[in-house]
Amino acid sequence: MSKATFQISGQAEGMKSTLTSGNHTITIDEPATMGGTDKGADPLSTLLFALAGCENVIANFVAKELEFDLQGITFKVNGELDTRGLMGDPNVRPYFEKVTIHADVETSESQERIEQLKEITDQRCPVFTTLKAAGVELETNWSKN
């Protein structure tokens, strides 16, 4: 069994966090309307970035295994949540209720093969499966570009 360890480090200044992983740095912040300085994307949007990025990486792995003609993917990801939960209402969960992923796949493959790529990608994507395990409703639509 092969295990990988992921590590980040960084510092926070007010709502802004500057975080490093290896040679890469990311800034996470809130808009001024939420008390931040708007120097980076908010944490929830950053999670959606991670989802799209992870789906892309896994799709490329799977495409090679399936000998699938994957020329590119364009993602649109939407997340819905009731903000009362993150603002302290104990009766409302503070995380996404629903996440919708739409992927436009650039390929010469059929829609049936695109569905196969999507299904396997969703089963293997760590970010997707983490959201699924948390009970987030996930809607995925992949179609030919």
16-21 β-sheet, strand order: 9-13, 16-21, 24-28
The whole-number average pLDDT for the span 110-134 is 98
pLDDT of residue 87: 94
Domains of the chain, residue spans? 7-40, 43-144
Coil, helix or strand at residue 50 = helix
Neighbour tally for 28: CB within 10 Å: 20
pLDDT of residue 13: 97
pLDDT of residue 145: 86
pLDDT of residue 20: 98
The whole-number average pLDDT for the span 100-121 is 98
**For the whole model, what pTM was predicted?**
0.94
- Whole-angstrom Cα distance, residue 8 to residue 45? 18
Given a cut of 80, whether residue 67 has pLDDT beyond it is yes
Q: Which of 60, 143, 50 is nearest to 103 (CA)?
A: 143
Query: What are 7-63's pLDDT values in tens digits?
Result: 999 999 999 999 999 999 999 999 999 999 999 999 999 999 999 999 999 999 999
CATH class of the region 43-144: alpha beta
Exposed/middle/buried for 118, CB within 10 Å: 0-12, 13-18, 19+? buried
Given a cut of 80, whether residue 4 has pLDDT beyond it is yes
- Whole-angstrom Cα distance, residue 45 to residue 27? 12
Q: Tell me the sheet residues that pair with 72.
A: 106
